[in-house]
Amino acid sequence: MGTLKKEPQENEPDLSPQHLSILKEILRQFAPGHLVWAYGSRVKGTAKKSSDLDLVAFGLDSRNISQLKEAFEESDLPFRVDLMDWGSIPESFRENIRERYVVVQDGGGGSASLARHG
């Protein structure tokens, strides 16, 4: 996974409380015990209302990824969720994600207090 920054600031992705709740519930249901980060415009503060939400999950198999994608598509979230598996991302892109991300679910299956890195 590489080196993670040590002292994150508390923060959240640019989502309404209702949308954040939907997101976290889907992750609890379809990816329990897996670390999930948000990155991209909704973390950087440059999102528009229609911007997608970029997520990266750690340790999920292709079946779980497919189930999660389907759950997001069928949810009441009014934006697209772009979900990637950390293991399939090139190292150069991993470096970009590591620069600024928010933990939306910790690896223990619960939702961590959301922490911004970067």
Dihedral pair phi/psi, residue 17, rounded to 5°: -55, -40
Q: Of the residues 14, 54, 61, 106, which is catalytic?
A: 54
Is 61 tagged catalytic?
Answer: no
> What does DSSP assign to residue 12?
-
Beta carbons within 10 angstroms of residue 101's beta carbon: 26
Burial class from Cβ neighbours inside 10 Å (0-12, 13-18, 19+) for residue 82 reads middle
Is 52 tagged catalytic?
Answer: yes
Q: Of the residues 14, 52, 85, 106, which is catalytic?
A: 52
Compute CA 36 distance to the chain's CA centroid, rounded to the nearest angstrom.
5
* 79 bridge partner residues: none
Return the active site residues.
Answer: 52, 54
